[in-house]
Amino acid sequence: MNKRWVIKETDQQKLAQLKSALNIHPALLSLLVQRGISTFDEAKRYFRPSLSDLHDPFLMKDMDKAIDRIEKAIAQEERILIYGDYDVDGTTAIATVYSFFQMLNLRVGYYVPNRYTEGYGISIRGIDWAKENGYSLIIALDCGIKSIDKIEYANKQSIDFIICDHHLPGNEIPQAVAVLDPKRTDCEYPYKELSGCGIGFKLIAAYAIKNNLPEESYTKYLDFAVVSIASDIVPITGENRVLAFYGLQKINNNPSAGLKALMEMNSVKKEFTISDLVFVIGPRINAAGRMDDARNAVRLLISESEHHATGNAQILNKHNNHRRETDSSITVEALAMLQNDPLHTAKKTTVLFHPHWHKGVIGIVASRLMDTCYRPTIILTESNGYASGSARSVAGFDIYGAICSCGELLEQFGGHRFAAGLSLKMENLEAFIQRFEEVVSSTIEERYLTPEIEISAELNIDEVTLKFYRILKQFAPFGPQNMKPVFLTRQVSDTGWSRIIGEEHLKLSVKKESSISLRGIGFGMASSVDIVKSPGPFDVCYTIEENEWNGTKRIEMNVQDLR
């Protein structure tokens, strides 16, 4: 698939301002300016994150009400239920808040709704369970901001709610005791992009601060926070960068028993990065709720002994293996459906339905098909008499907005620009597919239907050095809005050593004029060997990696594209 190369613009005035304050490579200065940094102090905070940079949690609207209600519950010996979503963000949020209150010896329990029998968010069944088991206060994490009717029902049962959510509110705010959500229009909290677990972290931080507990009493849960940040794909900027930075330190030096067991069982010996959390840890935690019961994920995360942690990690690994087999077979079926549809190539969307597809993995299948076809994609299956599914978008297009435009055909939907969930009556399915195609076709810009590679700066081969890389590493942790920079080097040629390795990958060795050579690997790029071996020069874009072999460190390219 062809890709668009887009070179990021850099504000030249701010670049000159920063250059006078920092003596580093111009390309690195450009990276800082592209991240909104233009002064020495801003650069210092960026390169040296500090927990003191975190905002006062009491700046969040209703935080004072939330803490007052928790303190009242403690004083009156009420039972407190920690309620959260069944994905990584929800289960890490539960583990954070539940473990904190357990440490204080409070009367606390937790509840995770079943993906298949209760669905996303606060459920009537969950409220009834709380009532039957003597809970009078529920702290809802990573859900609840649109649960108007459910909170009204709970109020009638004399059950109070504290909502800790990070999703966009609707037109009405639930009538809970406290609603913590930085995205509320009436909330002046300075940072809006916290994960659901991040909101839970701010809640326990507020309680600790008000009650003069040591900082360690809540920062000990930062490993859960960074797992949520990585897996929920929130921007790694502002507070999230601080939480991720210290969360990775915690994971690499002193992880919780559950995360440690999961890491060791999956043979990750090197230093953990955001990427490892996204591809190794997150899927295994998610697999619990996808394939069985998300309480298994919570049990792992709150494990205190090595024995219990190992047993729970084995359960999650088993679920993840089942998840892999299931999503792979469904992806094959879905691709076959597209190949047999002669009209699909002319469409701007991919929408597929099959009544027997596993509801727990259709979000993964949607992501795979979006990557393959590069169209806004919705995958649906039958669930309790409804067509229910997941949506994934291409970069630059707001799929949630497109789904909103089809709202009259839907029973329920929610999400954000790049991912959403939805359900609709079976009789509305064909009308929805047609309407969604019409909305997307009339609003999407043609360029968004071709994958984009965003290039941060141009470099010459001799500028790609260990010294350059050592500073570049300090831009980590990498993730949304702080992605690993992609560099461009023009007019390079093969040294003669470039070759295909395996069947799919391209090993590169390039030079430019009389400069030193630079090695690299292009995963899945064997088909580009003709460009490399052609007589003329070519351009290459890449990220920079460090490769160590037999004690020798070498800088190499991780090739993204060439032409």
Beta strand pairing status for 505-511 and 518-522?
antiparallel
pLDDT along the chain (563 residues), means of 10: 93 94 95 96 96 98 98 98 97 98 96 90 96 98 96 98 94 97 97 98 99 98 98 95 98 96 84 93 96 96 95 97 96 96 92 96 96 96 94 95 96 86 96 98 96 96 94 96 97 94 93 87 95 94 89 91 95
- The third-level CATH classification (topology) of the domain covering 341-449 is Diaminopimelate Epimerase; Chain A, domain 1 (3.10.310)
Instruction: Output the pLDDT for position 1.
Output: 78
CATH 3.40.640.10 fits 4-48+453-562, yes or no: no
Task: For 388-457, give the DSSP string.
Answer: EEEEE--TT--HHHHHHTTGGG-SEEEE-SSEEEEEEEGGGHHHHHHHHHHHHHHHS-GGGGS-EEEE-E
Per-residue pLDDT tens for 499-540? 999 889 999 999 988 778 999 999 999 999 999 999 899 999
Instruction: Output the pLDDT for position 197.
Output: 98
Does 4-48+453-562 match 57-318 in CATH topology?
no
Backbone angles phi, psi at 506, to 5 degrees: -120, 120
End-to-end alpha carbon distance in the chain? 12
Domain boundaries, the chain: 4-48+453-562, 57-318, 341-449
Compute CA 381 distance to the chain's CA centroid, rounded to the nearest angstrom. Answer: 24
Structure tokens given for 70: 């928790």
Q: pTM for this one?
A: 0.93
Per-residue pLDDT tens for 157-181? 999 999 999 998 989 999 999 999 9
Instruction: Output the pLDDT for position 269.
Output: 66
User: Is residue 65 within 8 Å of 100, Cβ to Cβ?
Assistant: no
- Residue 266: strand, helix, or coil: coil
Instruction: Output the pLDDT for position 314.
Output: 97
Cα distance between residue 362 and residue 368, in whole Å = 10
- The CATH code belonging to domain 57-318 is 3.90.1640.30
Structure tokens given for 332: 């094959």
